[in-house]
Amino acid sequence: MKGAMQRILVLVILLNLVFSCEKKSNDPDLVAYVAVAANGHCSLALKNDGSVWEWGRDSHDALLPDKVGEGYIDITTGWGHSFALKADGTVWSWGWNSYCQLWDGTSANKDLPVLIDKQNIP
Position 9 scores a pLDDT of: 54
pTM of the model: 0.71
Number of other residues whose CB lies within 10 A of the CB of residue 29: 5
Report the SS3 class of residue 91.
Answer: strand
Q: How confident is the model at residue 66 (pLDDT cuts 50, 70, 90)?
A: confident
> What are residue 107's phi and psi, to 5 degrees?
-120, 15
Position 78 scores a pLDDT of: 86
Q: Indicate the domain borders of the chain.
A: 2-120
Position 29 scores a pLDDT of: 55
CA distances from 73 to 10, 62, 91 (A): 23, 23, 10
pLDDT: is 28 or 66 the higher one?
Answer: 66
> In the predicted model, what is the mean pLDDT of the chain?
78
pLDDT in tens, 3-48: 665 666 555 555 554 444 444 455 555 568 899 898 877 889 999 9
> What are residue 25's phi and psi, to 5 degrees?
-95, 140
